Amino acid sequence: MFETRPDRDAEVVLLGRSNVGKSTLMRELTGHTFNTGQRPGVTRSPNHYDWTSEDFVLTDLPGFGFMKGVPEDVREDIKTDVVRYVESNAEKILVGILVVDGKSVIDIIDRHSGEDEIPHDVEMFHFLQDVGVSPVVAVNKMDKVDDEDDRLNDLAERLGMYPPWKQWQDTIAPISAKRGNIAALNEAVREHLHEANRDDLFKFF
């Protein structure tokens, strides 16, 4: 279990599989570079970024799901820790940003949609809703996607939301973190901060 959380009453968390660009997005949001390994699964504990004078923390949680060279039991432990962290801090977490790779997310979801299987991304999306955390799906690497609307409509559908995706812009945010293209995410996060009466946190997004 992660024990490093700064004592803050407001939090936004980043979740997602390994290698979807969470750390790049974190850098884009904070202007701060975090130590990330070149190999998946290297970030095993959360990266917290807090502004000392502010009652707010931004947290990048370790990547979950398949990681090359990482044993399955370790992968499961990481995912369990991520879930427990969100559960135990749910009352303070205003937004859960689920980062997915726009290029591969549909294939990954479809590959893992067996009878007894719920794909990690879909499961995590519904889990956030279940514990009362507003989910925003940051669909990263969209600069590499040609059929943007089709792809986002497919994703909306797989997450249980009727297309067209554009009616869900407070939930689905196409971005390219590497190119600094995250305006759609900032807009979506602000919607939820506003609902939580925390317009004071707009300056971070």
Write down the pTM of the prediction: 0.93
What distance in Å separates the CA atoms of residue 151 and residue 47, rounded to the nearest whole number?
A: 30
Structure tokens at 120: 């990690």
pLDDT of residue 115: 65
pLDDT of residue 83: 94
Structure tokens at 24: 């790049």
Structure tokens at 114: 């067996």
Determine what percent of the chain is predicted with pLDDT higher than 70: 91
pLDDT of residue 51: 79
Binned at pLDDT 50, 70 and 90, residue 164 comes out as very high
pLDDT of residue 36: 57
Range with lowest mean pLDDT among 13-17, 36-40, 57-61, 159-163: 36-40
Q: What would the pLDDT profile of 171-200 be if each residue is shown by its tens digit?
A: 999 999 999 999 999 999 999 999 999 999
pLDDT of residue 116: 67
pLDDT of residue 200: 94
Determine what percent of the chain is predicted with pLDDT higher than 90: 67
Q: What would the pLDDT profile of 78-136 be if each residue is shown by its tens digit?
A: 889 999 999 999 999 999 999 999 999 999 999 876 666 778 899 999 999 999 999 99
pLDDT of residue 88: 95
- Report the helix count and the strand count for the chain, using DSSP H and E: 6, 6
pLDDT of residue 32: 79
Domains of the chain: 11-204 (3.40.50.300)
What distance in Å separates the CA atoms of residue 156 and residue 165, rounded to the nearest whole number?
A: 6
Query: If you average pLDDT over every residue of the chain, what do you get?
Result: 89
Beta 57-60 vs 47-50: how paired, if at all?
antiparallel
- Asked if pLDDT for residue 38 goes beyond 60, the answer is no
Residue 110's nearest CA partner among 100, 101, 121, 119 is 119
| Residue 137 backbone class (left: φ over 0; alpha: ψ -120 to 50; beta: rest) | beta
pLDDT of residue 114: 67
